[in-house]
Structure formats: C-alpha cells, structure tokens
Amino acid sequence: MEVIVKRTEQLSGTVVAPSSKSYTQRMVIASGLSEGTSHVINPLFSEDTEAALRAITALGAKVKPLDGCWAITGTKPQTVKHAIDCGESGATLRFIIPVAALAKGPSTLIFKGSIERRPVEPLLVSLNQLGAEAHVVKGEVNEVHVEGGGLLGGKCIIPGDVSSQFISGLMFACPLAQSDTVISLTSALESVDYVKMTEAVLSRHSINVNVEDRCISIPGNQIYKAVDTRVPGDFSSAAFLLTAAAITNSKMTIENLDYEVVQGDKAILGILKEMGVEGKVCPDSIEIEGTGKPLKPFKINVRNIPDLVPAISVLACYANGTSTITGARRLRLKESDRLLSIYEELGKMGAEITITEETLTIKGGPLHGATINPHNDHRIAMAAAVAALGAKGQTIIEQPECIRKSYPQFYLHLQQLGADLVGGKLDR
C-alpha cells in the first residue's frame, strides 16, 4: 500500500484535531485503577490507545464502549491469565510494567519492535528498589516478566533524561504501594510536560503526587476515585497540519485545540510566530495563515518537546536560511532513530541536513518528490507527506498505515483541506 502526495499550491478549510493520544492512554490507565466507573469522553481510537485498553482489561478492568466515550470500571490489578499485548506502544509498556507489579501473581508483557530502541531497564532497576522484580526476556517476541506481589514503596533512583514515561509509570503504581515513595532523578527531567500531564490526570482521580525538580514524592495507600473526563485535542498531531498551512501559505482552522491544557507541544505556535506565520488562539480552536513571505529560520532546544521535531524539521526545510535543532538525543530512541530517519528521508527530497548525536542543522531550499520509507514511524510518515505539499513533483509514502499509531485520519484530513493526495483507505 502506498500514498501519493503531489505539490499543492494552497490549502483551506476547517478540520477537527484528533484527541490526544497521550491523554487518552493516561486516562484509560487511571480509570482502570479507580474504584467505580469512569467515563473517558472523546477518546482517541488508535493502535496505541487500543494497546492501553488491552492492558487494563487483562489486569481486570471492564471496558464498555458507548457513544463517544469508554465506560471503564476499575479494579485493583489482578493476576493476568494471558500475556499483556502492548503492541508497539512504548508508553503502554512503560506505564503498565509498574502497574502489573501491584497484582498478586506474575505477569508477562509482550512488545513488538526493539526493546533496545525503546529501553525499559532503568525502570526495572527502580522497581527492584521498591520491592518488585521484573526482567526482560529477548527472543522473536520481546517479553517483560513482572513477578507481582505489590510494591513496598521507599526510595528509588532513575535517570530523568532517558524517558519521562519511566517516571509516569511509577506515578501510576506508587500511590498503591504499601508505604510512601520518593523517586530521585539522577539527571534533569526532560519532556517535563508529559509528567505534568500524568500529574494532572492523577489529580482528577484524587491521587496526590508532589513533583519537584529532581524529586517526586508519592504517598502510599491512596485510593483512585472514578471520574468522568474529556480528552483534549492533540497539539502533537495538529502540528503537522499547522506546518502544512505554513509552507503552502494557506489559511485553515483547526478545532478541538485548547491552549490552556497541559501540553508541551503547543510550543509549535510560538515557533510558527517566530518564523513569521500569523495565528490566532481561540477558545477551542487555532486559526493559522501563511503570509506569503519567506519563513524565517530558527534555533531551538527540543529537550522538552521531542515529538515536534519531525514537523519543525519540515518547517526548517522551507525557511530562508539555516535552522538549528538541539537537545534531540532522545529521538534516537523513538519508533525509529528519528534523527537518522529525518536525515535520510527528507534528504531524499533534497533537504540539506547535518546531524550529530543530538542536533539537526537544516538549510532551507527547494525540495523535490521522492519515495519515502518512514521506517514504520508515524511521525516520519506525516512529516514526509507534509513536506511533499511544497515539493516539486510527486512523493510516494511507503508503509503509510503506520500513522494509525497516533492519527488514523491524517491523510483524510489533508484531503479535506485540499491536498492533492491519493492512496489507500486509511481513514478508519
């Protein structure tokens, strides 16, 4: 299956941003641990959120799909009967490992893809310090075995610059530990807004955590309370549409975006403003309009907004000058080695890119069509499709279905805005 994207002079119209994958996963897990029935309203249907649903169901929660929401009746984690299939969702894997430790008996979690690229070892070490045992078994299918028996609590140490998902996973489980927990970070926390997102979801479920610079304190023996919550729209996904508007000098409105919600990736609006793109923040939408003037280059540290890098790399390709992206080392550990994927795939389109272990330097200039291998990485596929809108000729996106991980309707929304795009039926 392929998607073909041709140069498109201008886009226009209104689309509804997809619900946040990150919020949906967190709300699902917190609901699965709560006493009573919670309603997750306007959830995102994607491969990663389906993985989170499978995980909490395996651990004993009940999920009932209703019109526009999921009704989730939570429970204390139960001993699983079968392996928990986390799919290719690194977040689900890292969130559920500590939660599975709360069950009386052992659990096995399976994960597709490379655990070397999506590491879990630092999390397993921290769990061991809190009285739980877990280890990786590598094979044709990677597995994590969690012994169960509960968490004692106490003190643990963990790096803050490998994955914020480690910290979020502990934040879900440690409120149910036998005693208080103190998590000490050996390095500054990166992607801090994702930890704040977890904190916000936990607070809605009456869970108290105290997040400071390099120390997170979590009282034990807490009780998750059921609550109804609405999933906000996703700035991470909307960033690709905003980028498309900027490079085609288009005017569009993206609904279902609340600027007041905790999401680090709303920083895309500041980046666009710095580049000379006009935008307007409305109560539940963003209006964006290219000015027709050359985009200005930028310099930015992305240690707290790594998921924006594919989109802003495309912006840099169309800027009038050289842009520099620093603090991007952790992109090596995403669904693909994203620094290398950006370098290779946008490079096929004529982009002048230099990479180091943690930086991207991109000189703006004309792009041309190419055949793109997104390396089974949803954000690389979306970035290449957006880049193709301003490129000469046509671009072929292989493995286009990988967008189902976070934004299943991405190609459909581009078509609705006027993009010259044809391909498989990927609008589920």
Is 227 among the domain residues?
no
Q: What is the residue-averaged pLDDT of the chain?
A: 94
Q: What is the mean pLDDT of residues 214-222?
A: 96
CA-to-CA separations, 54 to 30, 162, 297, 320, 354, in angstroms, rounded: 14, 26, 43, 47, 41
**Domain shared by 291 and 214, yes or no:** no
Contact, 43 vs 69, CB < 8 A? Answer: yes
Cβ neighbours of residue 184 closer than 8 Å, sequence gap 6 or more: 155, 156, 157, 158, 214, 215
Residue 375 counted as domain residue: yes
User: What is the structure's pLDDT at 425?
Assistant: 60
Three-state DSSP class for 202? helix
Q: What percent of the chain shows pLDDT beyond 70?
A: 98
One domain for residues 289 and 170 = no
CATH of the domain at 352: 3.65.10.10
Please check whether residues 327 and 374 belong to one and the same domain: yes
Instruction: Decide: 288 and 254 in contact? Cβ < 8 Å.
Output: yes
pLDDT at 279 over 80: yes
Quote the CA–CA distance of 314 and 218 in Å, as a whole number. 41
Q: Could you report the per-residue pLDDT of 371-401, keeping only the tens digit for each? A: 999 999 999 999 999 999 999 999 999 999 9
Predicted pLDDT at 321: 97
Q: What is the dihedral of CA 400, 54, 336, 160, to 10 degrees?
A: 140
If asked whether residues 397 and 345 sit together in one domain, one would say yes
198 and 250, same domain (yes or no)? no
Among 21-25, 28-32, 291-295, the range scoring the smallest mean pLDDT is 291-295
* pLDDT above 70: residue 114: no
Whether 184 and 308 map to the same domain: the answer is no
Q: What is the mean pLDDT of residues 35-42?
A: 98
Residue 428 resides in a domain: no
Above 60 in pLDDT, residue 426? Answer: no
pLDDT at 338: 95
For residues 53 and 110, state if they share a domain.
yes
User: Which pLDDT belongs to residue 428?
Assistant: 43
In DSSP notation, 404-415 reads GGT-TTHHHHHH
Identify each DSSP E strand in 375-420 by its residue range.
394-398
Residue 42: predicted pLDDT: 97
Q: Is the pLDDT of residue 352 over 60?
A: yes
* Dihedral-angle region of residue 368 (phi above 0 means left; psi in -120 to 50 means alpha; beta otherwise): beta
Q: Does residue 207 sit in the same domain as residue 247? A: no
Whether 216 contacts 183, CB under 8 Å: yes
Tell me what the mean pLDDT of segment 199-221 comes to: 96
Which token pair is 63?
A: 């999920």
Q: How many domains does the chain have?
A: 2
pLDDT at position 280: 92
Q: How far apart are CA 253 and CA 14, in angstroms?
A: 5
Query: Pick the catalytic residue: 48, 193, 265, 307?
Result: 307
Instruction: Indicate if the pLDDT at residue 121 is higher than 70.
Output: yes
Query: What average pLDDT does the segment 390-417 reach?
Result: 96
- Cβ of 244: how many Cβ atoms within 10 Å? 28
Give the tens place of pLDDT for each residue, 42-97: 999 999 999 999 999 999 999 999 999 999 999 999 999 999 999 999 999 999 99
pLDDT confidence band for 368 (50 / 70 / 90): very high
420 in active site? no
Residue 190 inside a domain? The answer is yes
Give a yes or no: residue 261 inside a domain: yes
In a domain? residue 31? yes
Specify the range with the lowest mean pLDDT, choosing from 99-108, 146-155, 182-191, 228-237. Answer: 182-191
Domain extent, residue 249, equals: 2-18+234-423
- Of 167, 186, 218, the last residue of a domain is 218
